[in-house]
């Protein structure tokens, strides 16, 4: 049994962008699925899917991410192997085009889990992860949006997930390979106009990502501060441990708790140990796609 599920964020996606989101999800899914079908491992599949999404500047991950309050791109990412529980994450990096690959390097080649800022970038240089000029990560569209927001004054990051004028495009993927290993990864540029150094849920294990072969894997998207408060990814895993691995039930309950306990907006993708895919969200839309070896065609929706 092999399975793969991908998301490109949960927010009020305008109709003018729905087709691009659908096609982007399908393309990302295809990259990972081809790798898994050829016998590739879940970790490689997740990394390659998320690198593809980070390289698409239309989304809030990698180049084209939202700018912070001083007009800079700061990126976060995490990855976790459900077989070993090894994990790696980076946060607040300015010079890394593909933070998911740096997060994997932290997982594979360090004794640590989370590296931030200049320390993470130093680790990248020492481990042959390419760096770039921070200005290369800024898309003109995002610079104009940032200037517009600054002119208007105070901006609430929470608004990005239920107002169609703003984007909330965290990206994530969960894969199950032929050996039964589950891997999850999540990557983001964070909320628009965030305070410099702000870190959301995406690089925090248990909040933005979690994987355990015995249960499943979860990637979250949405308002990071609320997701952190309810430790959303680990909460969904815990619910699955007590309900027989019912990913859909656990996902829906997790999103209910996100709203009722933290007044949060967002969504989750779930892949259980049986390879079954589930999705839940409380935003107007969520771009997602999945495929399993028991399906004839992939599921893609926004």
Annotated active-site positions, please?
Answer: 170
Sheet of strand 285-292: strand arrangement: 114-116, 87-93, 75-81, 182-188, 171-176, 3-11, 285-292, 299-301
How far apart CA 272 and CA 246 sit, in angstroms, is 8
Backbone angles phi, psi at 4, to 5 degrees: -150, 135
How far apart CA 56 and CA 11 sit, in angstroms, is 18
Tokens of 41: 């491992």
CA angle 37, 32, 220 (to 5 degrees): 130
CA angle 227, 56, 140 (to 5 degrees): 95
Element (H, E) at 115: strand 114-116
């Amino acid at each position: 049994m092999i399975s793969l599920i991908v998301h490109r964020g949960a927010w009020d996606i305008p109709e003018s962008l729905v087709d691009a989101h659908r096609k982007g999800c399908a393309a990302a899914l295809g990259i990972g699925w081809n790798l898994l079908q050829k016998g590739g491992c879940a970790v490689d599949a997740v990394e390659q899917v998320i690198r593809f999404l980070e390289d698409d500047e239309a989304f809030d991950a990698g180049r084209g991410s939202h700018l912070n309050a001083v007009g800079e791109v700061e990126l976060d990412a995490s990855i976790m192997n459900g077989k070993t529980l090894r994990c790696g994450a980076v946060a607040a990096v300015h010079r890394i085009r593909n933070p998911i690959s740096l997060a994997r390097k932290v997982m594979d080649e360090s004794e640590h889990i989370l590296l931030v800022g200049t320390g993470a970038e130093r680790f990248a240089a020492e481990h042959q992860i390419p760096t770039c000029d921070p200005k290369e990560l800024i898309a003109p569209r995002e610079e104009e949006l940032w200037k517009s927001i600054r002119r208007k004054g105070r901006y609430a990051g929470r608004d990005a997930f239920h107002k169609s004028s703003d984007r909330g495009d965290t990206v994530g993927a969960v894969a199950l390979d032929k050996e039964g290993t589950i891997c999850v990864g999540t990557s983001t540029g964070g909320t628009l106009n965030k305070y410099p150094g702000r870190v959301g849920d995406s690089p925090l294990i248990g909040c933005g990502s979690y994987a355990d072969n015995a249960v499943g894997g979860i990637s979250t998207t949405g308002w990071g501060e609320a997701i952190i408060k309810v430790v959303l990814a680990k909460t969904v895993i815990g619910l699955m441990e007590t309900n027989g691995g019912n990913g859909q039930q656990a996902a829906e309950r997790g999103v209910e708790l996100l709203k009722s306990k933290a007044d949060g907006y967002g969504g989750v993708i779930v892949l259980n140990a049986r390879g079954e895919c589930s999705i839940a969200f409380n935003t107007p839309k969520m771009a997602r796609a999945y495929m399993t070896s028991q399906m004839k065609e992939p599921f893609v929706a926004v």
